[in-house]
Amino acid sequence: MTKLNIIDASFTQEMMKVTANMYRLGWDERNGGNISYLLTEEEVAAYLDIEKVVRTIPMQFDGKELAGKYFIVTGSGKYFKNVIDDPAVNLGVIRVAADGKNLELLWGLEDGGRPTSELPSHFMSHIARMKVDPENRIVMHTHATHLLAMTFTHPLEEKALTRTLWQMCTECLVVFPEGVGIIPWLVPGTNEIGEATAAKMHEFRLVIWPFHGIYGAGRNMDEVFGLIETAEKAAKVYTYVQAQGGAKQAITDQQLKDLADAFGVTPREGFLEL
């Protein structure tokens, strides 16, 4: 049976468009940033022969919990700016092999490339988030400029940083009422940073990597991009406020509670001082 063109698949188009947008925003310079998108077998089978493995790629991570799962991912060393023009080189559709130690490439990465070097962190975060929300499908890492800058100038404490972001834009509490998690600085691409990020993903959909960037997770591309976009806008406002001499007034904790009540969300326990 003739398969549809995978370039036309909604999940491929989403990856092409969001990577272009993130590059345009200046969040993903050079080969910075990576995205993984959990797919169903039915979605993949409409476009690819799932019995045809292009090549097998060893993985330095025990992925047995994800055995048989399909993902479309950005490639290691690939530039987000190039994805939209050459998706078959810069993206790959992979399946986690039954042994959990190998990846089966079904499409893409045509120049012999490999999936993002942050794949262990992505997979650990997918595992953690699916235990909290079985509908989680996206993990996104980016170097959002103003959030990155804040990690140099703001206390690296979850309550303090979350409260600052909540106070910068009224919508923030509504968008991420659970707040933001923070891990220590760790070497990227290691299982150690993946484990630390995943531990936070049990409680947060946004996790800050100090002096590096942010991880986001959610059910679809709009949700995750929107999470990061909203936090980054708040960080940008914070930057402007500090440059203008610091805040003279701000949203009060009672007003934040009133906001949460009005929108039916529950702020993270202990983060509001009432």
Using CA atoms, how far residue 193 sits from 6, 34, 273, in Å, is 33, 15, 32
Q: Give the residues across from 91 on adjacent strands.
A: 74
154 is annotated as contributing to ligand binding: no
143 is annotated as contributing to ligand binding: yes
Q: How many CB atoms lie within 10 A of CB 135?
A: 10
Using CA atoms, how far residue 214 sits from 24, 98, 109, 135, 146, in Å, is 17, 31, 25, 21, 11
| DSSP assignment letter at 51 | T
Distance between CA 219 and CA 64 in Å, rounded?
22
Task: Please list, residue by residue across 234-273, b when 16 or more beta carbons sit within 10 angstroms of its beta carbon and e when fewer do.
Answer: bbbbbbebeeeeeeeeebebeebeebbeeeeeebbeebbe
Catalytic site includes residue 118:
yes
Of the residues 14, 29, 110, 118, only one is catalytic, namely: 118
Query: Strand 181-182 relative to strand 206-209: parallel, antiparallel, unpaired?
Result: parallel
Which residues fall in the annotated binding site? 141, 143, 212
Which of the residues are catalytic? 118
Which residues fall in the annotated binding site for Zn(2+)? 141, 143, 212
